[in-house]
């Protein structure tokens, strides 16, 4: 990660940061103060139980608590659940809830609320897979919730984080209204987390204040959080630079990241996005034409210079990604086939696959993209493939829904795509590779990739309780897909967190701002 700090100036700045950071560690966190932070888009609503995504994730994780939270090493920590145990057969997970936990309206948080939340999430959350094996939730007493599973489901551990499992009050959301459209998702929110809602003004801000009866002793430190909504990345950059905003996450434009790295008093870091796990890749439609041949896909990978993408397009801000699992994940396998730039090998593979050069061209393909930010990537692919005599036509979609519609119907040859891991591979990785999820809308298996062996490995990994065995299964999976290339992964999306010297304990765990920032404080 630190290799990313390139220039001497940035080094120097990082050095100073480190020094002040060490002092900060010795310091006691300070109570009070208003944090002014920023979001790049407008949340649909503030209830993560029904609305996934990083935009709702930030305010959602402050308003609502989850059973578990995570440190930087992917180790679960007690949160709303004081302790937990998984039964020997892996078929029941017992959560022992804190006895002093109350919602923002003062009502106690009980196991009934946990059971209710699981029901709501199972029915209304966009990710069906993460709680699918949960058959029922038993509530022997107010502070014990037992999740009964139809099969062992290790993904449940990461699914019990704030981003994916908000504990919502039954006495508010259980009134018979559709939870997805519940008026209390936006106004008068009664949550279980460290901060209470003061005001959500669409297009302007979300304002939160300290929940005085929060169940974590002595937390949160901040009195108030103002989340300003500034959609223009340049305006956000100026706001960090002139000090109007002290903290923000999910900045992804390389030019802006590099500019902010050189600003005194700001730290810019790619740490903390492992569980979000965003990956950029070149997707292939493996069901038709030349791309159905694995050799053609490998040839394209050899012709596309990742180095160019990393240096010229991402300007050194992005980490390499070689498989469908994010490089920060404990399941990442770096020892997989890779495809260094080799035009001769690419040409040989294309010849072998039966696509010789005739009239200066081997084949014509199209490449789609759905949002303007990745136009340089697709234009580069077009230019790179020209060198191995593949003609590429760039197809720009008018907007996201148009592109999503084409992807969902697999109406494309190649496309640029960005997909998130969302914690456990079961939630965000399997969907791209398993054969029973082919062409089920955007970000399903839109490659039409089907390999019974991969299906088998992923099914086994999904219910393997032993972490070592599980890791071995995912390694095997990554080696196979890196060989067969249903997609060609180029890099991790360069999400960065920006914070000023005034910030203590920024969220650099695995969930970035989709985790509670009850530890964060403002230095005097």
Partner 1 sequence: MNLLRSILIRIAYAVALLIAVIVLNFTMMYLAPGDVADTIAQASGGADPEVMEAIRREYGLDQPFIIQLGTYVGKVLQLDLGYSFFYNQPVMQLMLDRLPATLLLVLTAQIVALIVGVLLGVISARNPNGISSHFVTLFALFGYSAPVFWTGILLLIAFSLLVPLFPVAGMRDVTLEDPSFFTQVVDVLHHLVLPAFTLASIFLALYSRLCRAAMLEVLGSDYIRTAKAKGLSDRQIVYKHGLKNALSPVVTLAGLQFSAVVSGAVLVETVFSWPGLGTLALQAIIARDTPVILGILFFSALVVIMVNLITDLVLRTIDPRIRTGSA
Best CA proximity match to 164, nearest among 109, 222, 120:
120
Minimum distance of partner 1 from residue 130's CB (angstroms) = 10
Residue 510 CA: distances (Å) to CA of 70, 76, 202, 287, 453: 7, 11, 28, 36, 30
Q: Which position among 142, 209, 241, 379 is part of the footprint of partner 1 (CB under 8 A)? A: 241
Q: Which position among 441, 453, 466, 469 is part of the footprint of partner 1 (CB under 8 A)? A: 441
Is residue 54 part of the contact set for partner 1 (CB under 8 A)? yes
Q: Roughly what angle, to the nearest 10 degrees, separates helices 254-261 and 233-241?
A: 10
141 three-class SS: strand
Minimum distance of partner 1 from residue 46's CB (angstroms) = 11
Minimum distance of partner 1 from residue 245's CB (angstroms) = 8
Minimum distance of partner 1 from residue 402's CB (angstroms) = 5
Best CA proximity match to 86, nearest among 147, 162, 159:
147
**What is the rounded radius of gyration, in angstroms, for the C-alpha atoms of the chain?**
24
Minimum distance of partner 1 from residue 202's CB (angstroms) = 6
Of 107-115, 124-132, 247-255, 472-480: span binding partner 1 (CB under 8 A): 124-132
Q: What is the 3-state secondary structure (H, E, C) of 74-107?
A: CCEEECCEEEEEECCCCCEEEEEECCCCECCCCC
Q: Which position among 112, 122, 148, 228 is part of the footprint of partner 1 (CB under 8 A)? A: 228
Rounded distance, CA 65 to CA 48, Å? 10
Is residue 314 part of the contact set for partner 1 (CB under 8 A)? no
Is residue 55 part of the contact set for partner 1 (CB under 8 A)? yes
Phi-psi region of 422 (alpha: psi -120 to 50; beta: other; left: phi over 0): left
Q: Which position among 2, 7, 75, 178 is part of the footprint of partner 1 (CB under 8 A)? A: 178
Residue 396 CA: distances (Å) to CA of 97, 163, 379, 493: 50, 32, 11, 21
Q: Which position among 181, 262, 361, 364 is part of the footprint of partner 1 (CB under 8 A)? A: 181
Best CA proximity match to 117, nearest among 62, 191, 208, 187:
191
CA 351 to mean position of chain CA atoms: 39
| Residue environment code for 194-226, b if the CB has 16+ CB neighbours within 10 A, otherwise e | bbbbeebeeeebbbbbbbeebbbeebbbbeebb
Minimum distance of partner 1 from residue 438's CB (angstroms) = 11
Is residue 2 part of the contact set for partner 1 (CB under 8 A)? no
Minimum distance of partner 1 from residue 126's CB (angstroms) = 4
Helices (H) and strands (E) in the chain, counts: 16, 20
Minimum distance of partner 1 from residue 239's CB (angstroms) = 4
Which CB atom, from 284 or from 422, has the smaller least distance to partner 1? Answer: 422
Is residue 438 part of the contact set for partner 1 (CB under 8 A)? no
Number of residues that bind partner 1 (CB under 8 A): 61
Best CA proximity match to 300, nearest among 356, 354, 345:
345
17 three-class SS: helix
Minimum distance of partner 1 from residue 251's CB (angstroms) = 15
Is residue 136 part of the contact set for partner 1 (CB under 8 A)? no
Which CB atom, from 209 or from 476, has the smaller least distance to partner 1? Answer: 209
Q: Which position among 51, 111, 377, 515 is part of the footprint of partner 1 (CB under 8 A)? A: 51
Which CB atom, from 259 or from 345, has the smaller least distance to partner 1? Answer: 259
Residue 247 near residue 521, CB atoms below 8 Å: no
Is residue 45 part of the contact set for partner 1 (CB under 8 A)? yes
Is residue 255 part of the contact set for partner 1 (CB under 8 A)? no
What the block records as the tokens of 344 is 């001769």
Residue 10 near residue 261, CB atoms below 8 Å: yes
Minimum distance of partner 1 from residue 441's CB (angstroms) = 5
Which CB atom, from 36 or from 458, has the smaller least distance to partner 1? Answer: 36
Minimum distance of partner 1 from residue 230's CB (angstroms) = 5
Is residue 444 part of the contact set for partner 1 (CB under 8 A)? yes
Is residue 463 part of the contact set for partner 1 (CB under 8 A)? no
Rounded distance, CA 317 to CA 495, Å? 9
Which CB atom, from 131 or from 332, has the smaller least distance to partner 1? Answer: 131
Q: Which position among 11, 15, 18, 128 is part of the footprint of partner 1 (CB under 8 A)? A: 128
89 class by beta-carbon count within 10 Å (0-12 exposed, 13-18 middle, 19+ buried): exposed
Is residue 265 part of the contact set for partner 1 (CB under 8 A)? no
Site residues for partner 1, window 387-416 (CB under 8 A)? Answer: 398-402, 404-406
Minimum distance of partner 1 from residue 445's CB (angstroms) = 12
What the block records as the tokens of 34 is 């208003």
Is residue 188 part of the contact set for partner 1 (CB under 8 A)? no
Is residue 248 part of the contact set for partner 1 (CB under 8 A)? no
Q: Which residues bind partner 1 (CB under 8 A)?
A: 34, 36, 42, 44-45, 51-56, 124-129, 178, 180-181, 183, 185-186, 201-205, 207, 226, 228-232, 234-236, 238-239, 241-242, 244, 398-402, 404-406, 419-420, 422, 428, 431, 440-444
């Amino acid at each position: 990660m630190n290799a990313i700090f390139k220039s001497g100036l940035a080094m120097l700045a990082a050095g100073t940061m480190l020094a002040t950071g060490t002092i900060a560690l010795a310091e006691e966190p300070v109570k009070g103060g208003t944090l002014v932070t920023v979001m790049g888009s407008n949340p649909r609503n503030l209830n993560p139980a029904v609305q996934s995504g990083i935009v709702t994730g930030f305010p959602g994780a402050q308003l609502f608590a989850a059973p578990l939270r995570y440190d930087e090493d992917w180790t679960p920590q007690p949160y709303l659940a004081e302790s937990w145990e998984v039964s020997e057969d892996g078929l029941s997970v017992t959560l022992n809830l804190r006895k002093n936990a109350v919602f923002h309206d003062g009502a106690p948080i009980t196991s009934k609320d946990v059971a209710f939340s699981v029901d709501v999430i199972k029915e209304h959350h966009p990710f069906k897979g993460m709680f699918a094996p949960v058959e029922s939730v038993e509530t022997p007493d107010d502070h014990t919730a037992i999740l009964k599973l139809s099969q062992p489901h290790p993904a449940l551990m990461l699914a019990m984080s704030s981003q994916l499992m908000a504990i919502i009050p039954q006495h508010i959301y259980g009134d018979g209204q559709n939870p997805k459209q519940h008026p209390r998702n936006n106004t008068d929110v009664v949550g279980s987390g460290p901060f209470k809602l003061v005001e959500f003004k669409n297009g302007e801000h979300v304002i939160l204040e300290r929940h005085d009866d929060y169940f974590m002793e002595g937390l949160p430190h901040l009195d108030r959080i103002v989340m300003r909504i500034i959609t223009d990345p340049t305006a956000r950059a100026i706001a960090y630079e002139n000090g109007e905003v002290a903290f923000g996450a999910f900045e992804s434009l390389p030019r802006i990241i590099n500019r902010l790295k050189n600003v005194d008093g700001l730290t810019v870091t790619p740490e903390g996005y492992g569980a979000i796990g965003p990956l950029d890749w070149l997707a292939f439609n493996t069901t038709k034409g030349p791309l159905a041949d694995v050799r053609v896909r490998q040839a394209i990978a050899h012709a596309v210079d990742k180095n160019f993408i990393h240096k010229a397009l991402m300007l050194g801000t992005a980490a390499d990604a070689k498989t469908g699992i994010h490089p920060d994940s404990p399941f990442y396998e770096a020892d997989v086939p890779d495809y260094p730039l080799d035009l001769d090998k690419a040409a040989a593979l294309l010849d072998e696959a039966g696509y010789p050069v005739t009239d200066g061209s081997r084949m014509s393909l199209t490449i789609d993209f759905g949002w303007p930010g990745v136009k340089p990537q697709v234009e580069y692919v077009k230019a790179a493939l020209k060198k191995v005599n593949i003609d590429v036509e760039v197809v720009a979609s008018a907007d996201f829904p148009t592109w999503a519609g084409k992807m969902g119907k697999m109406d494309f040859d190649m496309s640029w795509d960005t997909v998130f891991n969302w914690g456990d591979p079961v939630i965000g990785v399997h969907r791209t590779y398993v054969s029973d999820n082919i062409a089920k809308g955007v970000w399903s298996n839109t490659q039409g990739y089907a390999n019974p062996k991969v299906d088998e490995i992923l099914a086994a990994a999904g219910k393997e309780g032993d972490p070592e065995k599980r890791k071995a299964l995912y390694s095997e999976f990554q080696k196979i897909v890196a060989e067969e290339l249903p997609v060609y992964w180029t890099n991790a999306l360069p999400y960065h967190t920006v914070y000023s010297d005034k910030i203590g304990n920024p969220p650099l765990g695995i969930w970035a701002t989709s985790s509670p920032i009850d530890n964060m404080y403002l230095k005097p």
